[in-house]
Amino acid sequence: MLRWRNLPEVRRWMYTDHEITEKEHDQWFESVLRDESRQYWVIMLDEQPVGVANLAEINRAQSRCTWAFYLADQSTRGRGIGLATEFLVLEYVFRDLRLSRLWCEVLSDNHGVIRLHESVGFHREGTLREHVAKSGVREDVVVLGMLASEWDHQRTEVKRRLAERGEVQL
């Protein structure tokens, strides 16, 4: 994960853009292991690790959480892996955890990920203006959200799209 996180093509879309040291990574990893409001998964393709997905700020009292993912291996992009990841995370959040709301924050110029989220039913809920500093430049962040009731209406269509692609078996 440390090597992936420090790849320029991954780091570009994260809130922090400095190279993470091994010590920083170890401290972060230890904190994740202790934090019950977070969950992480390694995304696998053909038995090879290709990325990471996570939930954060899991709040059962408010029935919500936030999420993010990245694909570290460039060769996985455009193959439906992102769509499959979205499907599995949405199923987990709304069917297994039985939460009511899921949201995410995406840098405003990450058009591909915004389109992906919207294609499965996320709605733009707002823009956090100049929310993040990247290489000394302030960048806007788009907030997208989905409700469990919306996923109920979208899931069959998303599952059909995945089946049509034929690249990913759920």
User: Could you read off the pLDDT of 32-47 as tens digits, one per residue?
Assistant: 888 999 999 999 988 8
Which pLDDT does position 155 carry in this prediction?
Answer: 94
Do 144 and 103 contact (CB within 8 A), yes or no?
A: yes
Note the CATH number of domain 2-165.
3.40.630.30
Segments making up each domain of the chain, as ranges: 2-165
Which pLDDT does position 28 carry in this prediction?
Answer: 85
Per-residue pLDDT for 59 more than 70?
Answer: yes
Q: What is the mean pLDDT of residues 125-153?
A: 96
Q: What is the mean pLDDT of residues 82-102?
A: 96
Return d(Cα 90, Cα 134) in angstroms, integer.
29
Q: What is the mean pLDDT of residues 82-92?
A: 95
Q: Print burial letters for 108-138: b (CB count within 10 Å at least 16), e (below 16).
A: bebeebbebbeebbbeeeeeeeebbebeeee
Q: Does residue 87 sit in helix, strand or coil?
A: helix
Task: Tell me, yes or no, if the pTM score tops 0.85.
Answer: yes
Backbone angles phi, psi at 62, to 5 degrees: -95, -5
Which residue reads 């996180």 in tokens?
5
Q: What is the mean pLDDT of residues 88-94?
A: 97
Helix then strand count (H, E) for the chain reads 6, 6
